[in-house]
Amino acid sequence: MFETRLTRMLGIKYPILCGGMAQLAKAELVAAVGNAGGLGFLIGSSFRTPSALSDEIKRTKGLTDKPFGVNIGIFRGTQPERVLGLIDTLAAEGVRVVETAGQSPEPYIERFHAAGIKVIHKVPAVRFARTAERVGVDAITLVGFECGGALGNDDVTTFILIPRAVDAVKIPVVAGGGVGDARGFVAALALGAEAVIMGTRFMATTECPAHPKFKEALLALQETDTVVVERPRNTHRVIRGEMVQKVLDLEKDGAAPEEIARVRGDMVGRAATDGNLNLSLVPCGQVVGLVSQIKPVAEVMQEIIQGAQALVGRLGQASFIPARTSA
Ligand SMILES: Cc1cc2nc3c(=O)[nH]c(=O)nc-3n(C[C@H](O)[C@H](O)[C@H](O)COP(=O)(O)O)c2cc1C
């Protein structure tokens, strides 16, 4: 059940992906997602050198024999040599899939494919999805306005983006932004997605390598506790807090993007290591309002799959009375 072109392409059991997450998508989390039947992406940009990434890939392989991928951010200032170096590292380690984000991966597609690596490019708009298909990526992730992290500047929600993208391209579409439970998973598949990608939900898991206080603090957040900052060059949805307020004040005063980046430091940063959400900008989606418990990744995934099976069964009988109230 829930077999799609993507589960076949990636050799995984369930069409559930864990997106690259600055500082957090490390071996423990990525391996746990793989072991539970999904696929996670290590975050390439968190490792300063190819050999540090290589070590993390080896550590992940020590924790799972299932497939996993690596996220590669391609930004305005990214040196092509760095990306090419990372591709060599992935090829040497036998990694078979990347999530690219930021600029178009066009200059690197041939190299990825020559190394036997599938490319899933993440975009926030249908026009970028069309371009990505044209330059040869293997699948596309569309992230909607509600997503955690980078969201572009069109402010179109996942509910609209996914069917628009599915109508616009032939390659498989992954739905990102706002998925955190069985209901979101089934809705995304109903919209035509062939997998979902989650970030925010996986932050509140046992295997997420953040301070326990960081994870507990997430549980208290509502869907209204995130805000969009750093438009238009580095538009991100993050958790409201003291550091965000500093950034919003700087934006109001017309500070240069470089000045803002200097003040805020690394995304996620000390918030995750010290357990205080006020210390950094922490990417987070509106779906955090649905997250109420820290659980092992396997439990999160099983609840989604079992809940989805039940939902699909009820929908098949055209029964639209929510399970909670039907008893
Ligand atoms: C804490 C955090 C850090 C993230 N860091 C990155 C990143 O460095 N690169 C990237 O491509 N996406 C990043 N993302 C986005 C996720 O990979 C994913 O696209 C997004 O979380 C999906 O939306 P959701 O949060 O509503 O599940 C991050 C998300 C979170 C929550």
User: In the block, which residue shows the tokens 């999160």?
Assistant: 300
CA distance 277 to 275: 7
Fold held by 5-206+294-315 = TIM Barrel (3.20.20)
Which of 53, 75, 142, 147 should be mutated for ligand 1, with most atoms under 8 A from CB? 147
Mean pLDDT of the chain: 96
User: In the block, which residue shows the tokens 């809705």?
Assistant: 187
CA distance 289 to 257: 30
Number of Cβ within 10 Å of residue 14's Cβ equals 23
Decide: 287 in ligand 1 pocket, CB within 6 A: yes
Mean local confidence (pLDDT), 75-95: 94
Decide: 285 in ligand 1 pocket, CB within 6 A: yes
Give yes or no for a contact between 19 and 99, defined as CB atoms under 8 angstroms apart: yes
User: In the block, which residue shows the tokens 């992230």?
Assistant: 143
pLDDT of residue 256: 95
Domain boundaries in the chain? 5-206+294-315, 212-286
For residue 147, name the pLDDT band (cuts at 50, 70, 90): very high
The residue contributing the CA closest to ligand 1 atom 8 is 22
Decide: 158 in ligand 1 pocket, CB within 6 A: no
Which of 214, 215, 254 lies closest to 231 in space, CA to CA? Answer: 254
Decide: 144 in ligand 1 pocket, CB within 6 A: no
Mean local confidence (pLDDT), 176-193: 98
Decide: 40 in ligand 1 pocket, CB within 6 A: no
For residue 313, name the pLDDT band (cuts at 50, 70, 90): very high
CA distance 2 to 186: 10
Question: Which atom of ligand 1 is found nearest the CA of 102?
Answer: 11
pLDDT of residue 42: 98
Give yes or no for a contact between 308 and 244, defined as CB atoms under 8 angstroms apart: no
CA distance 192 to 173: 8
Decide: 268 in ligand 1 pocket, CB within 6 A: yes
Mean local confidence (pLDDT), 183-194: 98
Which of 16, 17, 18, 21 should be mutated for ligand 1, with most atoms under 8 A from CB? 21
pTM value surpassing 0.85: yes
Question: Which atom of ligand 1 is found nearest the CA of 282?
Answer: 1
pLDDT of residue 324: 60
Q: What is the pLDDT of residues 206-262, one digit of tens each?
A: 999 999 999 999 999 999 999 999 999 999 999 999 999 999 999 999 999 999 999
pLDDT of residue 320: 76
Which of 171, 174, 84 lies closest to 136 in space, CA to CA? Answer: 171
Decide: 147 in ligand 1 pocket, CB within 6 A: yes
Quick one: what percent of the chain has pLDDT higher than 90?
93
- If 0-12 CB within 10 Å is exposed, 13-18 middle and 19+ buried, where does residue 267 land? buried
Question: Which atom of ligand 1 is found nearest the CA of 268?
Answer: 1
Decide: 46 in ligand 1 pocket, CB within 6 A: no
Which of 142, 221, 227 lies closest to 177 in space, CA to CA? Answer: 142
